[in-house]
């Protein structure tokens, strides 16, 4: 499919932002942080809200699929597709209002979460859900993925904090979704409430930490369980029976229901004091077995860090310097956080935990521990091997009382496939990020991808869990939606999608319409490269191609602080980030490059300062200067 020339001509007349249809732009936006690669039809970067509205209206007129995107840190393939990419991260990034009295903030979709939190902190507030990617994740993406993080046992999911949103539907209609309940979707929502309530209550996963499918349970409102230390009165939050606020439906919808123009979200008081206690264990499963006991002490977070990440952290200079808190060589550690107003009470809470390996009281000491945990994804992918940790079962959420059982079965599945993997993350919420080590450039690796996925899904369903709990469905978990919810509930989701987007133009082929999860791989069994002879040796990186392929697309280089990446911080152009340069170089060695691509690579590398900031700070150890 290609863009209609009349559409392009008309868009140019109405659009003040950038429209990029060249080969280099398509390479840059053909990947996110997932294992997939799909070339878009083009890229439009709206400069104003009028630009965004014009693009959606014209796309509806010409039946052009569109895909709203933030910084592309998505892990399930939902930020890529055969569509016109609408990059909202560059200019639609204003914090429009922060109201300390109502504890709310109104933001455009391109606002980076850490930027919102920095501004809110001056008023003693913060956004409750705290994904590890906060320093680069935009609020549009945070909402679209129903993101949460380490403190989900207090603050729940992003869906629990959306108060209202100004949106554009698939046909270009402007609506405001709030407690007034005015939308042309109301008849369908009413029908779902009346006809599908029993099916929803019977078939939804038993865990509250769920991002699979649409949030139909919020329409009732109802949840099978609640965060153990939920800060609100009722759960789900901000909803009452017989009201019609559709805003929570945006959470986890991945841009398939509407395009967010701006959103008003709830803020929570920032804790006055925190303390961390670190406990060591002989195995990951033993650590998970202990989580229900630890929850009785009312912590604000419990995070799992395995030995694999601890070892790999010592190999990256920026993180090796932060490892002084680890004593010995534990197989796994749990980081238990307490928060509150009285430091003495927090110290006593840590003492009650048992044999504590380390206690971190100062913010500096706590930051060192959190930095290692938050960089877990990148650190696991820092090994220079063709077989790499692969993100495809890494968002499972299990009722916490069955977490140890789940881990033992996962380890058994790994063993039967003759592999190992990293298991870490949000133990307190029953959410473990799991990355088996596979070589997807072989038939055996792709077969293992499918086989492991099938077995883990069956296990997750058996234990009452969800395959998607904060990273979205996208392509990775889309095919499991109907088997998770059943045909009737999935049909209700399709009805909602059709009402909001009758022509299926908004991020098509995602969620329940996704292709098989083992297709359209970035590195598949047919992957081939053609490289030139280099005067530098790349033996450690498996050759020049291995060095180029080392970037996994997580986009840590898109943050606005630190030393990586200064050229991106100055220009905010994707091609001038470490990730952008790596993607362009990979495009150069995997296809017959044209003049556009060759020139784009030359320009991107020419602007690289060779400062080695990426080598120092990239958790995966990408060294663009070399």
Cα separation, 220 vs 384, whole angstroms: 49
Give me the mean pLDDT over the 329-337 stretch.
97
Q: Closest Cα to residue 510, out of 76, 22, 50?
A: 76
The two three-digit tokens of residue 109, written as one number: 């979709």
Residue 240's CB: how many other CB atoms inside 10 A? 9
Work out the pLDDT band at 381, boundaries 50, 70, 90.
Answer: confident
Closest residue by Cα to residue 373 from 132, 47, 50, 82: 132
pLDDT of residue 380: 79
265-274, 441-450, 529-538, 600-609, range with the lowest pLDDT:
529-538
Does pLDDT of 48 surpass 90?
yes
pLDDT in tens, 5-46: 999 999 999 999 999 999 999 999 999 999 999 999 999 999
pLDDT in tens, 388-438: 999 999 999 999 999 999 999 999 999 999 999 999 999 999 999 999 999
Q: Which CATH superfamily is domain 273-462 in?
A: FAD-linked oxidases, C-terminal domain (3.40.462.10)
Helix (H, G, I), strand (E, B) or coil at 218: helix
Contact status, residue 485 vs residue 201, Cβ threshold 8 Å? no
Cis amide linkage into residue 147, ω under 30° from 0:
no
Helix ranges (DSSP H) in 145-211: 152-155, 186-203
Q: Provide the whole-model pTM.
A: 0.95
Helix H or strand E segment including 19: strand 18-20
The CATH class that applies to domain 95-269 reads: alpha beta
Domain ranges of the chain: 5-87, 95-269, 273-462, 543-617
Residue range 170-223, pLDDT digits in tens: 999 999 999 988 999 999 999 999 999 999 999 999 999 999 999 999 999 999
Q: What architecture does CATH give domain 5-87? A: 2-Layer Sandwich (3.30)
Query: What whole-number distance in Å separates Cα of residue 331 and Cα of residue 347?
Result: 25
The highest-confidence range among 185-194, 235-244, 588-597, by mean pLDDT, is 185-194
């Amino acid at each position: 499919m290609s863009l209609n020339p009349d559409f392009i001509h008309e868009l140019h007349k109405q659009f003040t932002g950038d429209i990029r249809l060249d080969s280099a732009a398509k390479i840059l936006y053909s990947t996110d942080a997932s294992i997939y690669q799909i070339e878009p039809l083009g890229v439009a970067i709206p400069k104003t809200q009028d630009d965004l509205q014009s693009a959606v209206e014209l796309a509806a007129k010409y039946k052009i699929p569109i895909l709203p995107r933030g910084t592309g840190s998505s892990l399930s393939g939902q930020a890529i597709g055969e569509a016109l990419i609408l990059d909202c991260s560059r200019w639609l990034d204003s914090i429009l209002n922060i109201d300390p009295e109502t504890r709310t903030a109104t933001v455009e979709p391109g606002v980076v979460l850490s930027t919102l939190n920095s501004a809110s902190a001056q008023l003693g507030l913060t956004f409750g859900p705290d994904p590890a990617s906060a320093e680069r994740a935009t609020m549009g993406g945070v909402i679209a993925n129903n993101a949460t993080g380490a403190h989900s046992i207090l603050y729940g999911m992003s869906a629990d904090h959306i108060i209202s949103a100004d949106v554009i539907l698939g046909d270009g209609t402007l609506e405001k979704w709030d407690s007034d309940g005015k939308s042309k979707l109301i008849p369908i929502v009413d029908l779902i409430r009346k006809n599908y309530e029993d099916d929803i209550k019977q078939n939804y996963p038993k865990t509250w930490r769920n991002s699979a499918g649409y949030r139909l349970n919020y329409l009732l409102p109802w949840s099978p369980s609640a965060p153990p230390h939920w800060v609100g009165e009722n759960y789900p939050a901000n909803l009452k029976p017989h009201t019609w606020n559709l805003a929570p439906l945006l959470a986890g919808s991945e841009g398939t229901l509407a395009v967010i123009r701006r959103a008003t979200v709830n803020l929570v008081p920032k804790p006055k004091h925190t303390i961390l206690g670190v406990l060591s264990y002989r195995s990951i499963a033993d650590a998970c077995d202990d989580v229900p006991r630890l929850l009785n002490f009312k912590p604000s977070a419990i995070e799992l860090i395995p030995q694999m990440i601890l070892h790999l952290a010592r190999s990256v200079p920026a993180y090796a310097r932060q490892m002084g808190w680890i004593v010995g060589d534990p197989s796994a550690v749990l980081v238990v956080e307490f928060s509150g107003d009285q430091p003495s009470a927090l110290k006593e809470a840590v003492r009650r935990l048992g044999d504590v390996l380390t206690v971190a009281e100062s913010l500096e000491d706590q930051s060192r521990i959190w930095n290692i945990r938050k960089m877990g994804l990148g650190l696991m992918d820092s090994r220079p091997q063709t077989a790499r940790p692969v993100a495809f079962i890494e968002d499972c959420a299990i009722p916490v009382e069955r977490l140890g059982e789940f881990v033992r079965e996962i380890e058994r599945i790994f063993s039967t496939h003759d592999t190992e993997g990293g298991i870490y993350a949000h133990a307190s919420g029953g959410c473990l990020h799991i990355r088996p080590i596979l070589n997807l450039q072989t038939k055996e690796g792709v077969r293992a991808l499918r086989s492991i996925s099938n077995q883990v899904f069956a296990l997750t369903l058996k234990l009452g869990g969800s395959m998607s709990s904060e990273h979205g469905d996208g392509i990775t978990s889309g095919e499991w939606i109907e088997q998770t919810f059943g045909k009737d509930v999935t049909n209700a989701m399709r009805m909602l999608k059709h009402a909001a987007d009758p022509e299926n133009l908004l991020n098509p082929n995602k969620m329940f319409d996704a292709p098989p999860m083992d297709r359209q791989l970035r590195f598949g069994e047919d992957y081939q490269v053609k490289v030139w002879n280099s005067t530098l040796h790349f033996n450690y990186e498996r050759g020049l191609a291995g060095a180029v392929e080392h970037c996994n697309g997580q986009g840590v280089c898109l943050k606005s602080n630190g030393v990586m990446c200064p050229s991106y911080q100055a220009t905010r152009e994707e091609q001038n980030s470490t990730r952008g340069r790596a993607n362009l170089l990979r495009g150069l060695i995997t296809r017959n490059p044209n003049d556009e691509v060759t020139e784009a690579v030359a320009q991107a590398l020419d602007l690289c300062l060779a400062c080695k900031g990426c080598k120092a700070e990239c958790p995966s150890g990408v060294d663009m200067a070399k």
